[in-house]
Amino acid sequence: MDRKIAKRIARHLNITAENFERRKAFLGIEAEDIRRIKAFRALLPGTPPELFDSFYDHLMAFHETRSYFKGDEVLVRLKKKQMAYFDQLFSGNYDMDYMLSRLQVGYVHVQLNIVPLWYIGAYNKYMQGIKLLVDEHAEEKELTYKSIVKVIMMEIVLTLESFHYTKYRLQEELKRMAITDDLTGVFNRRKLEEVMNLEMDRANRTGQDLSVLMVDIDHFKAVNDTHGHQAGDDVLIEITKLSKNSLRESDYVIRYGGEEFLVCMPETSLEEAAQIAERLRRVVAEHTFDTVGHITISIGVSGYDKGESQETFIKRADQKLYDAKQSGRNRVCF
């Protein structure tokens, strides 16, 4: 797997080379531990296949883990990977590349939906097999096993950190997708109530101004009928970009309907909102769109009256938009 993902996870978790060395020190991994592990590996006649046979026999005994192994080819491939991991584990080279490989494991487990229970349970079985090998081959049996446990504890911590971080990012991405319009990338109607309730409550508490714009693309049906729906989509995307450039970072842009956008503007008076709306209207009117050339927008503006409902607040902006349409389009009414 591409190590770029693991490097990004390490960066977000702030696991630098220095931090990684401190982690090893905290877990008590010392030069003597590494010496014992290397000495144990040198005494082994090879990579013991019976360890991996026993390990996968255990996993295949439970339907929850058996579902991850679809066919004999998958099992053979995984055994080869485990053998490579065995060599890595007992190499004694616990550097940044080794750390990244453990972070990758956590990431992959999220992709495969392998929960920590199965991961820890599998490691428990793996450790039993390693203990048997240590008892059979190591010269310093008890101390060698303790050294190995230290390294494996470090691995488990890294893997679980990566797992939980990746799970969190995945959940955040799913939340973002749920409230984001697929085409334009701005908020969708699911986000509307949350935004409006938040800002209306803040306006009620602080007495600060709050305004909304209701923006509609003029003659948008004609764009689709004449140039096709792809051209219509391109117009929506381009207007979104123009809106973001014309508005402020504190303003919320929400796709309200097919060609309608609602803009929630905290700490903005009706007059200020109208000025910003006029600037946006002018920017769009002067812009040349690919395929369709020039198009215009109409905008209705309303200011929040303390204590009024969200429905009334938005409906007033919608009425002003209607007025703008009725009076000739390509204008702002407030």
Is 184 among the domain residues?
no
pLDDT of residue 111: 86
Max CA pair span of the chain: 93
Instruction: Exactly one of 259, 260, 272, 311 is catalytic; name it.
Output: 259
Task: DSSP letter for 304, please.
Answer: P
> Is 182 part of any domain?
no
The reply to whether 272 belongs to the active site is: no
171 in the same domain as 223: no
Instruction: Calculate Rg over the CA atoms of the chain.
Output: 30
- Tell me whether residue 108 is in a domain: yes
Q: Which of 252, 265, 268 is nearest to 190 (CA)?
A: 252
DSSP string, 185-209: -SB-HHHHHHHHHHHHHHHHHH---
Closest CA to 114 of 66, 152, 151: 66
Specify the CATH number for the domain of residue 46. Answer: 1.10.490.10
- Whether residues 322 and 286 fall in one domain: yes
What pLDDT is attached to residue 96?
A: 94
Q: Residue 122: how many CB atoms within 10 A of its CB?
A: 17
**Same domain flag for 245 and 287:** yes
Contacts of 299 (CB under 8 A, 6+ apart): 213, 214, 215, 216, 277, 280, 281, 321, 324, 331, 332, 333
Q: Could you tell me if 146 and 13 lie in one domain?
A: yes
Query: Are both 169 and 207 inside the same structural domain?
Result: no
CATH number of the domain at 319, please. 3.30.70.270
Same domain, 18 and 160: yes
My answer on whether 9 and 158 are in the same domain is: yes
Start-end of H helices in 113-250: 116-137, 141-178, 189-206, 220-227, 229-246
Q: Verify that 29 and 169 share a domain, yes or no.
A: yes
Q: What pLDDT, on the 0 to 100 scale, is given for residue 175?
A: 81
Domain boundary among 177, 198, 220: 177
Q: What is the pLDDT of residue 1?
A: 55
Quote the CA–CA distance of 173 and 171 in Å, as a whole number.
5
Range of the domain at 253: 189-333
pLDDT at res. 179: 87
SS3 state at 213: strand
Asked whether 211 and 303 are in contact (CB, 8 A), the reply is: yes
Last residue of one domain, picked from the residues 144, 177, 210: 177
Are 164 and 204 within one domain? no
Write down which residue in 124, 155, 177 finishes a domain.
177
Q: Is residue 118 part of a domain?
A: yes
Same structural domain, 167 and 196 = no
The answer to whether residue 183 sits within a structural domain is no
State the CB neighbour count (10 A cutoff) for residue 22. Answer: 12
The neighbour count for residue 110, using CB atoms within 10 Å, is 18
* 40 and 130 housed in the same domain: yes
129 lies in a domain?
Answer: yes
Buried b or exposed e, range 173-194, using 16+ CB within 10 angstroms? eeeeeebbbeebebbbeebbee
Q: Is residue 231 part of a domain?
A: yes
Which residues in the chain come in under a pLDDT of 70? Answer: 1-2
> Structurally, how many domains does the chain consist of?
2
Torsion angle of the four alpha carbons 291, 292, 293, 294, in this order, in degrees rounded to the nearest 10: -160
Instruction: Return the pLDDT at 173.
Output: 84
